[in-house]
Amino acid sequence: MKAHEIMTPRPEVVTARDPVSRAAEIMRDRDVGVVPVVRDTSSMVLEGVITDRDLAVRHVADRHGDDCTVGHHMSRGTLQVVAESDDLNAVIAAMERAEVRRVPVTDKQGKLLGIIAQADVARCESVPKAQVAEVVQRVSEPKRA
């Protein structure tokens, strides 16, 4: 099975200039825990992601005001992504390596094509349930200092 077969295509996105409230609205309305951050909606080049945890830990807990943008709180840098032609084992390896529950799917130019969540992997009948449990365990392990 390939990444493009299990990904959610064309997810809702934000830019770094959007208010954090826009990302929160998307999470609420779409019942998702991550929103990809793109350079702009015409190019769809992935720049990072903002998660429900980013909003809780970086925005709410630090008591930032209403004028904060996505760019203040998004995760960027060594973002783990997969290609649409990657097989399921590569997707699982990416999740485990980065200890993340969701990975964006991009093309060779970095254009966002979709996103794969841990739940998408769990729904794949070709993945043994023991392997799904292992993925959940590995991405849920606390970071060691």
Q: Please give the model's pTM, rounded to 2 decimal places.
A: 0.82
pLDDT digits (tens, 9 = 90+) for 86-135: 999 899 999 888 888 899 999 999 999 999 998 888 887 776 566 666 66
SS3 44: coil
Q: Pick the range with the lowest mean pLDDT from 8-12, 31-35, 129-133.
A: 129-133
Look at residue 79 and tell me if it is in a domain.
yes
Look at residue 120 and tell me if it is in a domain.
yes
Question: Domain of 10: which CATH number?
Answer: 3.10.580.10
b/e code 10-33 from CB counts within 10 Å (16+ = b): ebbbbbbebebebbbebbeeeebb
Look at residue 72 and tell me if it is in a domain.
yes
Look at residue 145 and tell me if it is in a domain.
no
Residue 40 belongs to domain spanning: 3-140
pLDDT digits (tens, 9 = 90+) for 45-72: 999 999 988 887 665 555 666 677 888 7
Look at residue 118 and tell me if it is in a domain.
yes
Number of domains in the chain: 1
Look at residue 91 and tell me if it is in a domain.
yes
